[in-house]
């Protein structure tokens, strides 16, 4: 009963801090995961392009 009364009188002023903390955590983890996966895609594309260029130049060098 006491706990119920205490809960009912607790200030709701703390709620913005609760949501701010969760938002910061989520945004940080999502941003990092997004950055890593986007960079990975860019690098894979770059590796594939570089390999293609090297393969195209090899027959030219042989001739």
At residue 57's C-alpha, the angle toward residues 55 and 58, to 5°, is 65
Q: How far is the CB of 63 from another protein (least distance, A)?
A: 16
Instruction: Rule CB under 8 A: say whether 20 interacts with another protein.
Output: yes
Q: Note whether 30 binds another protein by CB under 8 A.
A: no
Separate counts of helices (H) and strands (E) for the chain: 2, 0
User: Does residue 40 bind another protein (CB under 8 A)?
Assistant: yes
Residue count of the chain, please give it.
63
Contacts within 8 Å (CB) and 24+ apart, 24-31: none
**Chain residues that interact with another protein, rule: CB under 8 A:** 2-3, 6-7, 10-15, 17-18, 20-22, 24-25, 28-29, 32-33, 36-37, 39-40, 43-44, 46-47, 50-51, 54, 57
């Amino acid at each position: 009963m006491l706990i119920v009364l205490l809960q009912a009188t607790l200030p709701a002023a703390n709620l913005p801090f609760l949501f701010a903390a969760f938002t910061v955590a989520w945004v940080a983890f999502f941003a990092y995961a997004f950055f890593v996966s986007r960079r990975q895609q860019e690098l894979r594309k770059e590796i594939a392009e570089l390999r293609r260029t090297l393969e195209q130049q090899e027959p030219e060098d042989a001739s």
